[in-house]
Amino acid sequence: QVQPVESGGGLVQAGGSLRLSCAASGSIFSINVMGWFRQAPGKQRELVATISNFGNTYYAEFVKGRFTISSDKAKNTVYLQMNSLKPEDTAVYYCNVKRSGYSYWGQGTQVTVSS
């Protein structure tokens, strides 16, 4: 079992920045990929960004150039730096950890961007 725990959400004005963190605990060896998803009210959960154990990153088109994903292997933590936030970025952001074919989710952290 892997337990991801998110932090860093909050309320910010459009154009502002936030940094999300996700610390993974439990059976953290052999983690393959860590990433962020988000879910806005009435919408499906969607992929935001991922980072592999080798440092390869992937970004959804709608965050390219604005968000940056990074990780600290020593702390088993993944970060999402969000800049130039827009009201449409408002959502619950979930951390996801993939390990040995299993997928683990955090409880989510609310990000609200006011116009």
Predicted local distance difference test score (pLDDT) of residue 22: 97
CA distance 16 to 84: 6
| pLDDT for 1 | 86
Question: Look-up: residue for tokens 């991801």?
Answer: 4
Q: Looking at residue 28, what is its pLDDT?
A: 73
Alpha-carbon distance values, 60 to 24, 27, 65, 114 (Å): 23, 28, 10, 22
Could you read off the pLDDT of 2-19 as tens digits, one per residue?
Answer: 999 999 999 999 999 999
CA distances from 37 to 50, 72, 74, 115 (A): 9, 19, 23, 22
Quick check: 23 pLDDT over 90? yes
CA dihedral (47, 7, 67, 96) in degrees, to 10, reads: -30
Q: Give the CA angle between residues 19, 77, 84 to the nearest 5°.
A: 20
In the chain, % of residues over pLDDT 70: 100
Chain center to CA of 28: 17
pLDDT of 31 strictly over 90: no
pLDDT tens digits, 57-89: 999 999 999 999 999 988 899 999 999 999 999
Mean of the per-residue pLDDT values for the chain? 95
